[in-house]
Amino acid sequence: MKLPNITILDEKDRLLHKKSAEVTFPLSEEDKQHIEDMITYLTMSQIEEYEKKYNLRPGMGLAYVQTGILKRIFVIVEELDDGQFKNYILINPKIISHSEEEIYVGEGEGCLSVNREVEGIVPRFARITVEAQDIDGKPFKIRVREDISVAFQHEIDHLNGILFVDHIDPKNPFKNIEKYREI
């Protein structure tokens, strides 16, 4: 596998706090290639051999805005088993329903744009249903839960100009922790 030439913006970049624009179809060949590059990058970041070789931080999700493009597109690469991955490509995603139950990631959320340790919890819905479009513009609905639900919400936040650190109370990073279930 060849590492794609992708530059990921750092949290200090103001672009990360801007809202991304709706995508119109058909997608350009350039957009299709960029989506493939993002998937390849995320996949390689989760394979130890490439992670070490290219000094990558492992990541499972990437929003277009993190690569400097304000379009409502994100990809998630979920490792199912060693070397087996499931790819999600969501264009113009909208959360249309969610569980009442809220969860948080016990070891804390991470982000390829946040290059530091961050203490605190980010409450997320345990289950969400999302409406989106695929790369051909075909609408679909998907229901996700637990860690994938967290990842989807994290990436949708990016599309709205929100970083996970924006959810953490700096004065009380573990505020109301008893209200949420740890995953």
Residue found by looking up tokens 């650190």 in the block: 165
Contact present, 48 and 29 (Cβ < 8 Å) = no
CA–CA gap between residue 65 and residue 155 (Å, rounded): 10
Catalytic residue set: 155
Cα–Cα distances in Å, from 40 out to 44, 47, 55, 60, 95? Answer: 6, 11, 15, 11, 26
